[in-house]
Amino acid sequence: MSTAENAPAAEDGAMVFAEWVAPFVAHLAGERRVSPYTLRNYTHAVERFFGWLQASGRWRGSLDRIESRELRDFLIESQHRVGRRTLHNHMSALRALFKYWMRHGRLERNPASGLVLPRLEKPLPKFMTERQVSLLLEMPTRLLDNEATDPFLAWRDRLILELLYGAGLRVSELCALTYGQIDLEDGIARILGKGNKVRLCPLGKVATAVLRHWRTNFARDKERSSPVVVSVRHEPLTPRHVQLMLKKYLALAGLPMDLTPHKLRHSFATHLLDRGADLRLVQDLLGHESLATTQVYTHVGIARLQQIHRNAHPRA
């Protein structure tokens, strides 16, 4: 196909994006303040659906002309290319898109209503044992003692690990954390989480002490708007930077390399419940909107007890 023949399709796609996708993406970023990761995935899902409509000749110029059968066909075809969880995430993005335009009066109904998705298996969250966490948290100090790293990196990395585990922060929340959100006297951080909701997170005595040492001895910028965790150039860190840093310490500690910053959050919740914390308190600390999301950690505890029983009891 010639460049001239491609031009109308490209122009039509740009018009569709400008009219239907761009305002929705701006709403996600500005009003709902979703994470960059969610924003990227939702944008990709919506663009993919519109691209499929155009490529299959089913785009009829307006969102209100989309029928449920087109969504079903899109799902059926997508199952051959992506996994079930990705499929569910794509549909969440499309449902959010349709709800957005219903609120703005350009849709009378949601074509995704009543759509049946393939069932998802719900694996239990993977978490670290208390011993594994202790070993991981020791790694930056151990490197410093062996003169294998410099004090700035050692204390910065220890602070990161202590905040992820001690406060149960998401890695995006950690990277966005500023000094204005922290009350060092009480050891509390005000975290702006998903859905633009603020929650109070106790940091714990150890994390608070490490934070005090870091701020006093290594932080260059200490204004309320200054980021807490920074690079050697005193620039904000990205989640990717934190992930790579964690991989280094996992390797040094001989721990499984598939552990992620989010697994420290899982460990935070699991260890709290193991030691008798109230489920609703853990829900508040994690910033979960639904108690059902937090209840999965009780299943982790039950599964662990069952495994211990099977291994130890003569009639298990």
Name the helix (H) or strand (E) containing 162: helix 151-166
Residue of 90, 263, 265, 266 marked catalytic: 265
Is 122 tagged catalytic? no
Is 170 tagged catalytic? yes
Residue of 88, 190, 194, 241 marked catalytic: 194
Distance (Å, rounded) from C-alpha 178 to C-alpha 229? Answer: 8
Local structure of residue 202 (DSSP, 8 states): E
Q: Are 291 and 283 in contact (CB under 8 A)?
A: yes
Is 48 tagged catalytic? no
Distance (Å, rounded) from C-alpha 240 to C-alpha 51? Answer: 29
Residue of 32, 33, 215, 262 marked catalytic: 262
Residue of 90, 156, 158, 170 marked catalytic: 170
Q: Are 152 and 232 in contact (CB under 8 A)?
A: yes
Is 212 tagged catalytic? no
Distance (Å, rounded) from C-alpha 280 to C-alpha 153? Answer: 36
Q: Where are the beta strands (DSSP E) in 43-86?
A: none
Is 299 tagged catalytic? no
Q: Are 64 and 107 in contact (CB under 8 A)?
A: yes
Is 262 tagged catalytic? yes
Local structure of residue 121 (DSSP, 8 states): P
Counted residue by residue, the chain has a size of 316
Question: Which residues, other chains included, contact 303 with Cβ-Cβ below 8 Å and sequence gap of 6+?
Answer: 124
Active site residues: 170, 194, 262, 265, 288, 297
